[in-house]
């Protein structure tokens, strides 16, 4: 009986560890995706900004 209890506890601990690892990975991926999305948004805004600046330069000439 003690052995089966030990196995049950070990299984639970292992499952909890795997769950934590998966949760951490998901969180890391989510943060990475959010950062990448924000960066590409800034990059697009930057491109738009430079296009506007270029057209303004053309209108000055």
Q: Rounded to two decimals, what is the model's pTM?
A: 0.51
| Residue 53 CB partners (closer than 8 Å, separation 6+) | none
Mean pLDDT per 10-residue interval, the chain, length 61 residues: 87 94 94 88 73 68 56
The token pair at 31 is: 């943060």
| Per-residue pLDDT, 38 | 83
pLDDT of residue 49: 66
The pLDDT of residue 42 is: 76
Rounded distance, CA 42 to CA 33, Å? 14
């Amino acid at each position: 009986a003690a052995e089966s209890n030990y196995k049950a506890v070990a299984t639970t601990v292992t499952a909890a560890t795997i769950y934590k690892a998966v949760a951490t990975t998901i969180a890391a991926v989510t943060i990475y995706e959010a950062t990448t999305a924000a960066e590409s948004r800034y990059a697009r805004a930057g491109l738009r900004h430079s296009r506007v600046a270029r057209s303004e330069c053309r209108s000055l000439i």
